């Protein structure tokens, strides 16, 4: 009788353990994605510490999960740790330069840190990278406080759009 633990395997030969390991990776990735979904809801309710706990649980299972890392940066910014949050968000961008979530997180960090110019640049990059992802596009649009231009076929910064935009804002405030 041969014991399966004592048999020699050649490289590339599939075993039950490799299959189980790949299944456990999939389960871990699902767990991390669920933790991100839960954390998003808590972040929207400004419960950054609780959201960070969920995200850290996801990172325990999948240490290089980019969404967990990106949203931890948002949590850190929500707790007023802007330098750490910005470093983490930039590190996520460095590792995933074509990922919309990374730029979205950096944009939120910059908004919370009162850096509107860089926040809008990063949110614009996130919007451009998220083409087709309705959830991400909606999240980016939700953070953008700018209203659409009054005359849509002219650029936003044209003289007429600026003038009519100021007039529209004064009329909506009731002045």
Give the pLDDT confidence of 4-21 residue by residue, as tens digits. 444 444 555 555 455 555
98-110 pLDDT tens trace: 888 888 888 888 8
Please tell me the predicted confidence (pLDDT) of residue 169: 79
Mean pLDDT, residues 125-144 taken together: 78
Strands, E assignment, 32-109: none
Q: What angle do CA 122, 124, 128 make, to 5 degrees?
A: 115
The HSE-up count of residue 32 (CA atoms within 13 Å, CB side) is 22
pLDDT at 123 over 80: yes
Structure token digits, residue 11: 């490289």
103-142 burial: b if 16+ Cβ within 10 Å, else e:
bbbbbbbbbbbebeeebbebbebbbebbeeeeebeebbee
Ranges of each domain in the chain: 24-144, 147-175
pTM over 0.85: no
Return mean pLDDT, the chain: 79
- CATH entry 3.40.50.720 includes domain 24-144: no
């Amino acid at each position: 009788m041969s014991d399966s633990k004592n048999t020699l395997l050649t490289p590339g030969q599939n075993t039950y353990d490799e299959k189980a390991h790949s299944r456990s990776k999939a389960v871990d990735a699902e767990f991390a994605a669920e933790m991100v979904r839960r954390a998003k809801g808590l972040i929207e309710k400004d419960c950054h510490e609780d959201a960070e706990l969920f995200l850290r649980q996801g990172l325990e299972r999948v240490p290089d999960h980019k969404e967990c890392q990106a949203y931890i940066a948002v949590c850190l910014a929500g707790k007023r740790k802007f330098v750490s949050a910005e470093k983490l968000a930039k590190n996520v961008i460095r590792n995933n330069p074509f990922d919309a979530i990374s730029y979205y997180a950096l944009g939120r960090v910059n908004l919370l840190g009162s850096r509107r110019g860089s926040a809008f640049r990063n949110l614009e990059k996130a919007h451009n990278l998220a083409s087709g992802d309705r959830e991400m596009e909606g999240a980016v649009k939700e953070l953008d406080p700018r209203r659409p231009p009054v005359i849509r076929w002219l650029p936003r910064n044209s003289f007429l759009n600026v003038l009519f935009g100021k007039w529209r804002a004064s009329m909506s405030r009731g002045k």
